[in-house]
Amino acid sequence: MTVNTETLADLGVANERQIALRLRKSLYGLKQSGRLWALHLRKTLLKLGFEQCYTDSCAVYVDDLLVTGTSVANVDKFFEDMKVLDVKDLGRVSKFLGTGIVYDELHGYMLNQRQAILELLERFGLADANAVRVLVVDDKNEGDDSALLPDANGTPSRPLVQLFQSLVGGLLWIARCTRPDIVFAVHRVTRRAHAPRESDWRNAKRIMRYLKGTIDVKLRLEIDASSVRGAEVRLEGYSDADYAADRVDRKSVSGGVLCIDGMVVGWFCKKQNSVALPTMEAEFVAASQVASELLGLSELLGELGVVVHEPILMHVDNQAAIKQLEGEDSSGKAKHIDVRVKFVKDFVQKGVIVVEYCESRKMRADLMTKSFPAPRLGELRELVSLE
């Protein structure tokens, strides 16, 4: 904190290190400011009669609020009540957190991050780079110990590592918000973000070149009429696993896609916590992770007053894993699997979740676990509502 010389003189000290000031209220930028603002916002909303979700207790992004309601009058009243916090009504949403939002009565909402991609390309000197059509990542040096552009002492150059981490952070944001087609590739380059290799840098730049070539791709949020069940909404999940994907520790990778009435609303790619022995085990763990996400989403929708159709549908492309989930296979092949992932069997046997086999060509979660040539990549983009 900088204190001017006149104030220091009034306090009778030579520099700011000799004083300690007690703040009467929080200042922007302090370590605890974010938490204090969240508490203040929560208190204000509760006072206005709102209820806080228990499933997701923080459905806002710091001080950016995306407001919706059952009528324009209700939304207007909200902004009138929120004048105590000096909240600005920016009108119908067209951009939120760097994501462009366009509404079309025929096709629903279209989300894109064209501007965010352009800014990232410019920032890292890739605005004039050649675009590519596929996202095949280079993993042949996955076990290589050579650091990214080491300095004279052979240790990683800290500024370059930070630059790489900044690039990966930008890619993660784009992948998480609107581009499920780059999730797997971004996951690969984040594995060694603390000490990246030259191959990691090449892969990250290739993702940027791919984004440049697909900069106008949009995520379509449109309900599939064939999935609608009256006043209820239908939840579906797709799970897949890449067995022993990591060449160093041989851990598998889980991938999942979540849908509401056929509309893709969530996706993930994450490395599993332990080494899976057979392929079935890796698929079983991935299915359990998707089931956990689906149950959490069901709880959140319930709190929002949305009735979820039961059973929840889960698609898996491994018959052995399906038999384990349904409790048909009583052999000892899965006795060692952690009880934390076996909980899903209980929900399947109770009828809360139904597991169905999904052939590989229709498996949306394939996009989360492996790279594909251009034709198949295009098909998968369509399956996850990218156009």
**pLDDT single digits (tens) 198-209:** 888 889 999 999
Range of the domain at 329: 227-383
Q: 75-90: per-residue pLDDT in tens?
A: 999 999 998 888 888 8
In a domain, 190, yes or no: yes
In a domain, 106, yes or no: no
Residue with tokens 């018959």: 319
250 close to 282: Cβ distance less than 8 angstroms: no
Number of structural domains found in the chain? 3
DSSP state letters, 156-202:
--HHHHHHHHHHHHHHHHHHHHT-GGGHHHHHHHHTTTTS--HHHHH
If asked whether residues 237 and 354 sit together in one domain, one would say yes
pTM value is: 0.87
Which of 36, 58, 91 is a domain's end point? 91
Two tokens at 309? 């159709």
If asked whether residues 240 and 193 sit together in one domain, one would say no
If asked whether residues 239 and 378 sit together in one domain, one would say yes
If asked whether residues 164 and 120 sit together in one domain, one would say yes
If asked whether residues 258 and 144 sit together in one domain, one would say no
Which of 157, 185, 213 is a domain's end point? 213
Q: How many CA atoms lie within 13 A of 37 on its CB side?
A: 15
If asked whether residues 256 and 366 sit together in one domain, one would say yes
User: Which residues are within 8 A (CB) of 165 and not within 5 positions of it... i.e. 6 or more apart?
Assistant: 193
If asked whether residues 232 and 349 sit together in one domain, one would say yes
Q: 252-297: per-residue pLDDT in tens?
A: 999 999 999 999 999 999 999 888 888 888 998 999 999 999 999 9
In a domain, 186, yes or no: yes
Q: Give residue 332's pLDDT.
A: 59
If asked whether residues 245 and 324 sit together in one domain, one would say yes
pLDDT tier at 168 (50, 70, 90 boundaries)?
very high
CATH number, domain containing residue 280: 3.30.420.10
* CB burial of residue 53 (10 Å; 0-12, 13-18, 19+): middle
Q: Does residue 302 have a pLDDT over 80?
A: yes
Give me the helices (H) in 64-144, please.
72-81, 114-123
In a domain, 221, yes or no: no
Which of 190, 213, 236 is a domain's end point? 213
Q: Give residue 28's pLDDT.
A: 84
DSSP state at residue 372:
-
For 302-337, b/e burial (b = at least 16 CB within 10 A) is eeeeeebbbbbbbbbbbebbbbbbeeeeeeeebeeb
Q: Does residue 175 have a pLDDT over 90?
A: yes
In a domain, 105, yes or no: no
Which is higher by pLDDT, 8 or 379?
A: 379
If asked whether residues 233 and 379 sit together in one domain, one would say yes
If asked whether residues 352 and 282 sit together in one domain, one would say yes
Q: How many CA atoms lie within 13 A of 7 on its CB side?
A: 10
If asked whether residues 118 and 81 sit together in one domain, one would say no
In a domain, 254, yes or no: yes
Preceding amide of 311 cis, omega within 30: yes
Among residues 244, 238, 249, which one has the least CA distance to residue 358? Answer: 238
Residue with tokens 């996400």: 293
In a domain, 183, yes or no: yes
If asked whether residues 118 and 238 sit together in one domain, one would say no
Average pLDDT, whole number, for the chain? 87
In a domain, 350, yes or no: yes
42 close to 34: Cβ distance less than 8 angstroms: no
